[in-house]
Structures are given as structure tokens and as C-alpha cells.
Amino acid sequence: MGESGSGKSVSSMAVMGLHTSRSARISGSIRLDGQELVGAKQDDVRRLRGQKMAMIFQDPLSAMHPFYTVGNQIIEAYRIHNQVSKKAARAHAIDMLDRVGIPEPRSRIDAYPHQFSGGMRQRAMIAMALSCDPSLLIADEPTTALDVTVQAQILDLIRDLQQEFDSAVVIITHDLGVVAELADDIVVMYAGRGIEQGSAEAIFNAPEHPYTWGLLGSMPRFDRPPTERLLPIKGTPPSLIRVPSGCAFNPRCEFSDRVRGDACTTERPELLPAGSGTGAHVGHGAACHLPTAERQQVWAQEISPRLA
Amino acid sequence: MTTPTTDRHADGATPAPDGDVLLSVEGLVKHFPIKGGFLRRGRTAVQAVDGVDFSVRRGETFSIVGESGCGKSTTARLVTRLLEPTGGTVRFDGQDITHLSEGRMRPLRRDIQMIFQDPYSSLNPRHTVGKIVGAPFRLQGVEPEGGRKQAVQDLLELVGLSPEHYNRYPHEFSGGQRQRIGIARTLALKPRLIVADEPVSALDVSIQAQVVNLLEDLQEELGLTYVMIAHDLSVVRHVSDRVAVMYLGKIVEVADRDDLYDRPHHPYTVAMLSAVPVPDTGRRQNRERIRLQGDVPSPINPPPACRFHTRCWKAQEVCRTEEPPLVPLGGPSHLVACHFPENVTPATPVSTPTPTA
Amino acid sequence: MPTSVISYIIRRLLAAVGLVVVISMITFAIFYLLPRLAGASPETLATRYVGRAATADTVRVTAERLGFYDPLYVQYWDWLKGVVLGTTIDTGAGTVQCPAPCLGYSFRNQEPVTPQVLDRLPVSFSLAIGAAVLWLIVGLSVGILSALRRGSFFDRAAMTFALAGVSMPIFWTGLVALAIFSYQLGITPPGGSYTPFTENPVQWAYGLLLPWITLALLFSAQYARLTRAGMLETMGEDYIRTARAKGLRERTVVTKHGLRAALTPIVTIFGLDFGLLIGSAVLTETAFGLPGLGQMAVDATGSNDLPQVLGVVLLIAVFVAVANLVVDLLYAVIDPRVRTR
Ligand SMILES: Nc1ncnc2c1ncn2[C@@H]1O[C@H](COP(=O)(O)OP(=O)(O)OP(=O)(O)O)[C@@H](O)[C@H]1O
Ligand SMILES: Nc1ncnc2c1ncn2[C@@H]1O[C@H](COP(=O)(O)OP(=O)(O)OP(=O)(O)O)[C@@H](O)[C@H]1O
Ligand code: SF4
Ligand code: SF4
Ligand SMILES: [Mg+2]
Ligand SMILES: [Mg+2]
């Protein structure tokens, strides 16, 4: 999770290998099931796309081709990676539409995307993404464009299908509620970097990064009595063309003066182990110059009471 | 097209007219005729707003929530008279403004202002911030004390921008700052009513909080009245005094904020509130969520009687044949339009179609 | 076929017929009314059809025979009846059968307009078809390649060339081309050499080669730019990203998902251009001395042969309308949103 422009989509597109070498330079390492994707042959990555890793996008209307039927688009996705007859693929597509909860899939399969409602389109996108039974599903803001009741349907669907298909899901969102509903592990991004990561419990109940604290204070809590005032983070997110030196959060950080010297403005903090390490799969980590003990103390004594 | 008669608000759905009410809306209707080819013109209409009643008291924040396409923005545009109502009345400060001509409406435009969702497209990119914020002065021919420039700079300061921003252009600002510019512009003529259509939806989480706080401060400082349109139920709960829930062009429930969130009566409200994702990992397992089936029907051909019956788990035959009136339930200020309301303690009579006012 | 599609087709068809009728009315009104407004009496009009030496009586009789004394709508109605049902024309020197579609009688040439016009049609049509095929091939492929290699040397060279092509006046290009290729180099035949396709296809193509290229030059440039812009826009669409995310080969992404959407607006423009091309072939035909409709219209206007002018205009109107109709129907085939609302 992270704010707009923090690099969530760019990261997930990199995993899918959807950046062209002309528009982006990618370094580092992406491993899918042990296989290195950075620097791998384009065609090899292409073969993985849709089959081993699949993606659904924010706006289900523009993400489907307006000129082809929903069925055709699902069938196409299936037949790229599976040598089956058109008929078998069609039966599979109907089955998939049925599984994502489209009523009367047999007749709806020949509908065009514009004949579906927003929620149904997103269901169809999910059917398409899951048609090859991928082990990784990336959902980039899958419910941002949907109404809250439809959002709840889609989140339920993703959770149910995740269990049914036993796939890993990466969900990208700026809605802390959605994160809490679905995520086991969370990475908080700021200005193109992960600044805190950990289990959902750790991020919500014992966060250690000042930016995470800020996020939690900025949003009205639906599950608590209404507070008098929200506690916004001052300033605005930085431009990624000129990222502040040192810790990218320093111009907006309330706590930088508690760090000795000028480390906050000169030295970029690394994502280091933090907290009690109660992560399910990833250990809790934060990128901040404040010592862990002090962060925990600030959270417990200053931030947490403010949020309650 | 005939104006549908709205005979049902007479029974206490609108509070007795008192000096406290700044804006009152009765039986408001807006139908958009659908233009087809020349062979099938004007036969059908989008019933975007179809008989809406509410009133807004001075100094309060009145919010309208509901699913996309239920008519929230249309209501906002009708109230500010950016759209011509098909039927019903809009009263501002006791004056009927429903069909005022543009000329007669002009002086009232100072009192009623609107904030739009998109902070990018609502500002002219070729005008400086000074010109944008000062435009209302020019349009209304007002010369504030101390000159326009001074007034604009004061406004910029009021919304948390720097007076030095006077000569800059909108593209030099971030989304939140642009929304502030838009707010400064609406404040120029010291309005009494501000209708804000999704004022924070396009903003980042951390920026949303800044703008929400700003709107609250301004309300306190200037005694503003807000009609707030939003779909984020957490934000609505934070800012509102009273909340109306719309479904397919009609208000199905109106109540004080805490009443609505703690004891929702209408099944749709109940479902909507239960669907809000809660940022608490502990709740995930033991939450009961009402799963609504299907999607919102089309406003071109809405279901008869109770419009929610196609998705309602409590629907009975009567729901398909008889439209439930918007009537008080369990208190004079909590109105609901449902034959079988939820969260009704046995102490309160279950069906109260008897008028109370 | 669902009823919505049928009703769509019927509506388009009606619109096309309406368009032709309106154009014919306007043309009729202009050519029959304007001289009156300029002060010409039925007699003065009739003098154009009889010799200078004719007596006042002959003139009056002629004017009557031509219906010049009738009100405008009667004259139009008679003309329209002729178009639909055919008519018999009293030329003064005996009557002439003019079967439907009778576009009138050219008193100057002493023969009905319809065969004359139909005689010219193949020339203009050949010119248009050949040029269109040429410009579509060149324009689309250059545009697509430019878009896919945006910023490359090819792209920049092609777009510079296209800009130059768009801004060159066709009459000038035509004359220069003629001067160089025919008269200087002798590779192509000189102007005015048209051989009907049915007679000798090779000669037909050979004779039209230069006009085709000249005309296509202008349009290819325009289409290359349009295609490039459309392609760039489409390739940035979300559904292209979806297609890639499925694991489709880039070639399939471009051809199956990109091209189909990018070419849709081009179909519309092409329909309009092709219809209008028949009409606007005037300059090309004049430059290359081709006996087409354009040249006929020029000649007829020059010699005040109103029935001929009307005939040409009507034919062109039919052409534009048909081209439009075809585009609309094609559009419905390409874009399901048009036919299934
Ligand atoms: N193709 C591109 N070329 C150049 N810059 C890009 C490109 N795509 C994204 N960016 C920039 O990279 C940064 C990160 O963008 P990204 O789309 O990942 O943000 P995000 O976290 O997904 O935000 P949002 O919540 O708005 O979707 C932004 O500053 C964006 O402007
Ligand atoms: N100018 C118009 N012409 C025709 N139909 C319209 C027009 N404006 C709105 N509508 C229709 O009226 C209905 C209500 O629209 P409105 O914009 O008020 O919804 P909304 O509640 O604001 O939705 P959202 O949350 O998506 O902004 C919709 O079905 C919409 O398509
Ligand atoms: S490193 Fe410094 S500026 Fe960055 S978050 Fe920590 S305290 Fe704040
Ligand atoms: S009136 Fe009936 S259908 Fe409508 S909300 Fe109430 S119970 Fe449901
Ligand atoms: Mg994104
Ligand atoms: Mg709206």
C-alpha cells in the first residue's frame, strides 16, 4: 500500500515484465518460484505471463477490449497457454464465469464488456486472470472504481478464489481497510521504496515508521468512535523526479529532529529488521534512522493514544 | 413528460418550517430524456432524481451517500441550480428558487457555492491563481475593502496557501493544493451554503485529511453550512451532522449521524455499512457481512414500488407493489422508507405509517 | 439478425436517402433560383437554349416547354419524377425517351444527361479506386511502423515527409509530376491518356499511374499521420496492457488488439474522403486531362449547361451518401457498441 505515485503500479508491472526496455530500466531482482525474471529473455517472461502470474487492473471498463466479447477475451487468455480446441476453451470460459459469480454464464459469455456493469466486468477480469490457474495473482486497485457493496462482493470473491485456487495474491491499494481485509503481509511504499513491511498485525498494531503512523492518523476510522480531528501528514508527497535526499520522508516527518545529526537529510535509511519480528512470512522491517526501541516507545506513548 | 406528483412528503417527512432551516428540498425530480435515433426519441428518460425531500439546517453538515449513479451529483446540481429541476421545489432561506431565472439567481450565487470533485479540471490552466480566486469578485462586480488582490491573498492564507502563490498557475500545484485553490474561490463571496460534490475523493489519503480538516475549520470560523456528497462512508461519518442515504434516485433513510451509523433501519443502509472494509486485522474473522446480490438496477427502468426489492433479503410481496413512504421511526429525526425496517427494538412500533407531524 | 441491427441499418439507409434528396434540392434551388434572383426572366433563361437569332415567340414556347414558367417546386417535382420514373423530353425537334434514372436533357449537347454522366463515371471511379488503394497501403503501413518505432529515424523521416506531403497543392504536384515523368523522362504516358479497364487493364493502370500517385501522395501523407496518432493512442490503452498481461505475443497484441481499434476512426474518414474524392477529382482530372466527372462538371458550369451540372452533382451526392452508408455499416461491424446498446 502507499499513496498515489509511490510506485505501486510500476513495481507490479515490473514483476509482470510489462515495461518495455525503451521506457524503463529495471535493475535488482524479481524471482517467481525461484526463477529470476530481471534480465530473463522477453519471450520466457511472456510465457509466464497469464499462466504462472496474472494481473487484474483498476478500471475494469478500460481494461477489456471494447470490440471483443467477454468470452472471446477469456478464451484467448486460456488458449495462449493451453493447446485446446475452441470448444473446450469455451466450456472452460463458461465454467470460469460461473465460478466468479456471473449469472447465466452460458448466455453472458457472448456479451460485450459495455453490456456488463462495473462489478460484473471486474468479475470477468478475474475470470480471465484465473483462467490458466496462475500461482500469483496481482490485483492493482481492483475495487477502487467500484461501489462499497460491490467492492465487498469482489473482495469476498478474491478471498474465496484464493483458497480455491491456492494462489498467492498481491493486492495493491491505498485503502487501509481493504488491506486489513485481505492481506497477511504488507509493504508500505513511499516515494518509490518500501519503507515498512511486516505482517498485517504488525503494521496495524505496532507500526514503526513515522509515515505509517501518519497514514493511520490521516484516515477516519470506521471501527472507532468518531474523533474530533484527523491528524494529517503535513506537506505533500514528493515528486519522483526530485526525491528529497536522505530519507525521502524527511520534509514531512515530525520526528526527524529526534535523530541525532543530519542523518535524515543526508543518509538514506535501509529497511532493517524491526519490532518483535512477528511476521508471518516476512519479518517486520522499517526504514528509519530512529532506533527501534525509541520507535516502539513513540508508538506506544505518543501515537497510539492519539489514534484511539 | 409529466411531473410525477409527490404526495407523500406531506406526512412529516419534512420538518416543520422553522427559521433554522437554510435549505429545503421537496419532491425534487430530475429526468434526463434519452436521445436515441430520430425514430425513437424522447420516449424514455433517466430518472436520475425522483422525488427527493430533505432540509438542511444552518451551520450543519448534511451528507448524501449512495452508490454510483444514484443521483447524488444531480441532486447537488439541482440544489445549486446548475440544472433545471423537472419537478419539486428548492427553497433557500425561505425563498423559492426552483425556477428562478438566471438573472434573478445571480445575487443568490454569492450565497450558494459549489466545490467539485476534480481539482484538476475545474481550474482554468491558463489563469493565475490570483485570477481564478478573484474571478467571483469580477463576475459579481464586487470590490472588496482593501482591493481585490488583498482579498484574494487573504483567502489564500485562509485555506492554507501562501499569498505569494498569487501569480502562479494551477499546474504548479499538487492535487490537495489545487483543491484548496478551488475552495478559496468558493469562499470569495462569503457564501452561506457550500455544496461539495466529492471534495476529497480525488486526493491522496494524507492530503484528504488536510482538506477535511480545512473544511471543518472554515465551517467553524465562517459559520458555513455544507451539503456534502461522498461515497467514502468513513469520511462521511467523520464530517457529518446528518446523513441521507440515496438509492436509485430516492432518499431511503435520513438520520443524525450517530443514529444512522449505530442503528441503521433501511436494509440498504445496513448492507452498505456492513460492507465497509475496516482497517482492523482482528475483525477479519468475526465480522458478519451482508452480501448483497447483483448490481444496482438501471435508473432508466427502476423497479416499481420499493426500488431496493430486487436486492433486498427482506423483500415481501408488499415491497413489489407498494412504495414505502419516508417516515419517522423511533424518533422524529430518523426517517426511513421501508416496510420492514431493521434494528427496531420491540418497544418501538414496527410499522409507523401514521403521520406524526 | 437482432432487430436492433435491422433498425440501425434502416435508419442509416433513410438518412442516406434523405441526404441525397436534400443535396439535390439545394443544387436545384441554387441553379434554378439564383439566375432568377439575379433578375433573369424565364425568357432570358430560355434564350440560352435557342439560338441568338430566335424570335420572341420561339423563346416563349421554349421557356414553356422547359417548364420555366412553373413555380420552383413544380419544376423540382417534375425533375424528381424524371429521376425516379423516367420521362419523355420534348426537344423541340421531336421527343426523346429518357428512361429512369433520367437526370435531365442537355440541350447544348442534344442528348440526355444520364448516359453522358455514366460515361464519365468509370474514369473518375478508376482514378479514385486506384488512388485509394495506393494511399491506404502506403499511409497505413507508414503510420503503423512510425507508431511502433516512435522516435526512430524512420519515424522522424516519415513524419517530416508526411508534413510536406500534406502541405503540397495537388495541382502543382500533378503538373510537376507530369513534366518530369512524362515529358522529361518519358516513363509514364502524357496527360489525357485513358484506356477503359475492360479494353486493356494494363494500359488502364499504366495510364492512370501518375494521377494515382499524385493523388495518393497527398492522402497517404494525411493517413500516415492519422494512423500513427491513432496507433499511439490505442497502444497506450488499458486493454492493450491487459492483452500483454495475458502473455500474447507482441505481434498479436498489435494486430489483433491494437490495429482493430486504431483503424476504426480511419474507416470513417476514409469513407468521407473516398466519397468526396469523386467530387474533388476536378483538379486532378484537369491537371492530367482525364475525361472524368470532374472535368465534365467544369465544362458544364463553364457552358451554363444546368441539367448536366445537376446530374453530376446528384451523382456525386449519391456517391458521398453511399460511401457514408458503407462506413456506418462497417462501423457497426467493427464496433459492437454501435449495434448493441
Ligand atoms: N511509463 C512511465 N514513464 C514515466 N514515468 C512513469 C511511467 N509510469 C509511471 N511513472 C511514474 O512513476 C511513479 C510511480 O507511478 P505508479 O503508477 O507506480 O504509482 P502508484 O503507486 O501506482 O500510484 P496510484 O495509486 O496513483 O496508481 C509516478 O511518479 C509516475 O508518474
Ligand atoms: N446530463 C445527463 N444526461 C443524462 N443522464 C444523466 C446526466 N447526468 C447524469 N445522468 C444520469 O443520472 C444518473 C445519476 O447521475 P449522478 O451523476 O447524479 O450520480 P451520482 O450519484 O453522482 O454518481 P457518482 O457517485 O458516480 O458520481 C446516472 O444514471 C447518470 O448516468
Ligand atoms: S529517517 Fe528521519 S525523516 Fe525519515 S522517517 Fe525516520 S525520523 Fe523521519
Ligand atoms: S421495503 Fe421491502 S424491499 Fe424495500 S427495503 Fe424494505 S424490506 Fe426491502
Ligand atoms: Mg497505480
Ligand atoms: Mg457524482
Q: Shortest CA distance to A130 belongs to which of A179, A90, A93, A175?
A: A93
- Give the burial class of B154: count Cβ atoms within 10 A of its Cβ; 0-12 exposed, 13-18 middle, 19 or more buried: middle
Best of A104, A219, A221 to disrupt the B interface by mutation (most B CBs within 10 Å)?
Answer: A219
Crossing angle of helices C3-37 and C306-334, in 10° steps, is 160
**Residue numbers in B near C8 (CB within 8 A):** 37
Do C191 and C240 share a domain, yes or no?
yes
CA distance B93 to chain A (A): 29
Q: Give the CA diameter of chain A.
A: 69
Pick the residue from chain B with its C-alpha nearest to C12: B37
**pTM greater than 0.95 (yes/no):** no
User: How buried is C300 (Cβ within 10 angstroms: 0-12 exposed, 13-18 middle, 19+ buried)?
Assistant: buried
Range of the structural domain that residue C331 is part of: 115-340
Q: Is C4 on the interface with B (CB under 8 A)?
A: no
C contacts of A62 (beta carbons < 8 Å): 237-239
pLDDT score of C282: 67
- Give residue C1's pLDDT: 56
A7: left (phi over 0), alpha (psi -120 to 50) or beta: left
pLDDT at residue A82 in the model: 93
- pLDDT given for residue A127 in this prediction: 93
Q: Which fold has domain A8-182?
A: Rossmann fold (3.40.50)
Read off the DSSP letter of residue C90: E
Domain holding C235: CATH number?
A: 1.10.3720.10
The mean pLDDT of B333-353, rounded to a whole number, is 75
Same domain, C100 and C223: no
Q: Decide whether any atom of ligand 1 lies within 6 Å of the A23 Cβ.
A: yes
Interatomic CA distance for residues B265 and B268, integer angstroms: 9
Where residue B2 falls among pLDDT bands split at 50, 70, 90? very low
Strands (E), chain A: 31-32, 35-36, 53-56, 136-140, 168-172, 185-190, 193-199, 272-273, 285-286
**Total domains present in chain B:** 1
With vertex at residue C160, the alpha carbon angle to CA C159 and CA C163, rounded to the nearest 5 degrees, is 85
Which chain B residues contact residue A147 at CB under 8 A? 67-68, 231, 296
Nearest CA among A61, A108, B37 for reference residue C4: B37
Return residue ranges of chain A for CATH 3.40.50.300.
8-182, 193-307
Q: Stretch B102-112: mean pLDDT, rounded?
A: 89
Right CATH for A193-307 from 2.60.40.10, 3.40.50.720, 3.30.230.10, 3.40.50.300: 3.40.50.300
From CA C21, how far away is CA C33, in angstroms rounded?
17
Q: Is the pLDDT of residue B356 over 60?
A: no
Write b or e for each residue in B184-210: b if 16 or more Cβ atoms lie within 10 A of its Cβ, otherwise e: bbbbbbebbbbbbbbbbebbbbbbbbb
The lowest-confidence range among A121-130, B140-149, C306-315 is C306-315
Q: Flag whether pLDDT at A266 surpasses 90.
A: yes
User: Is residue B17 scored above 70 in pLDDT?
Assistant: no
Give CA–CA dist A107/A126, Å, rounded: 18
CB contact under 8 A, A150 and B216: no
- Cα(C211)–Cα(C209) distance, integer angstroms: 6
Whether residue C88 is found in the same domain as residue C209: no
Same domain membership, residue C152 and residue C37: no
How many domains is chain C partitioned into structurally? 2
Q: How far away, in angstroms, is C166 Cα from ligand 1 center?
A: 37
Q: Return the pLDDT at A279.
A: 43
For residue C92, the model assigns a pLDDT of 64
Kindly report the average pLDDT of chain C as a whole number: 80
End position of a domain, from candidates C98, C113, C128: C113
Closest CA to A95 of A81, A110, A107, A105: A105
Q: How many CA atoms lie within 13 A of B52 on its CB side?
A: 34
Residue pLDDT, tens place only, B158-174: 888 888 888 888 888 87
Chain B residue numbers with beta carbons less than 8 Å from the beta carbon of A177 are: 234, 276-279
Cβ contact, residue pair B281, A205, below 8 Å? yes
| C23's grid cell | 443535396
Tell me: pLDDT of B36 over 70: no
Q: b/e for C42-61, b at 16 or more Cβ within 10 A?
A: beebbbbbbeeeeeeebbbe
pLDDT tier, B3 (very low <50, low <70, confident <90, very high otherwise): very low
Looking at C65, C89, C113, the residue that finishes a domain is C113
Q: What would the grid cell of residue B332 be?
A: 422524529
What is the pLDDT of chain A when averaged over all its residues? 89
Q: How far is the CA of C91 from the centre of ligand 5 (A)?
A: 78
Which structural domain range is residue B57 located in?
1-107+225-341
Q: Is the pLDDT of residue A24 over 70?
A: yes
| pLDDT at A81 exceeding the cut of 90 | yes
- Looking at residue B99, the DSSP 8-state letter turns out to be T
pLDDT tens column, A271-288: 988 875 544 456 899 999
Residue B167: DSSP 8-state:
G
Check whether residue C95 and residue C126 sit in a common domain.
no
Find the B310 Cα to ligand 4 centroid distance in Å: 9
List, for residues A98-132, the tens digit of each pLDDT value.
988 888 899 889 999 988 888 889 889 999 999 99
Give the residue, C67 or B116, on which the prediction is more confident. Answer: B116
From residue C274, give the alpha-carbon distance in Å to each of A249, A296, B315, C271, C323.
60, 74, 59, 5, 7
Pocket of ligand 1 contains residue A5 by CB under 6 Å: yes
Mean pLDDT of C127-131: 86
Residue among A1, A9, A240 whose CB has most ligand 1 atoms within 8 A, to mutate: A9
Q: Using the mean position of ligand 2's atoms as its centre, give its distance from the Cα of residue C8 in Å.
A: 26
| Alpha carbon distance B113, C105 (integer Å) | 69
What is the SS3 assignment for C341?
coil
The single residue listed with the C-alpha cell 429521376 is C83
Q: Which of C92, C113, C134 is the last residue of a domain?
A: C113
Q: pLDDT by residue (tens digit) across A32-77?
A: 999 999 989 989 999 999 999 999 988 888 899 999 999 999 999 9
Residues C119 and C221 in one domain: yes
Which pLDDT belongs to residue A276? 59
Point out the least confidently predicted range of A40-49, B283-292, C107-116, C237-246. B283-292
Q: Where is pLDDT greater, at A187 or B179?
A: A187
Report the candidate in B38, B65, B7, B41 with the shortest Cα–Cα distance to residue B247. Answer: B65
Q: Is residue C102 very low, low, confident or very high in pLDDT (cuts 50, 70, 90)?
A: confident
The one-letter code for the residue type at A16 is M
The per-residue pLDDT for B349 is 47
State whether residue B31 is helix, strand or coil. Answer: strand
Least confident of C27-41, C139-153, C199-213, C292-306: C27-41
What the block records as the C-alpha cell of B24 is 429545503
With a 6 A CB cut-off, is B248 part of the ligand 4 pocket? Answer: no
Within a domain: residue B164?
Answer: no
Q: Which amino acid is at A247?
A: C
Q: Does A251 touch chain B (CB under 8 A)?
A: no
Q: pLDDT (tens digit, 9 = 90+) per residue, B287-318?
A: 677 888 777 788 888 899 999 999 999 999 99
CATH number, position B293: 3.40.50.300
- Average pLDDT (C284-290) is 77
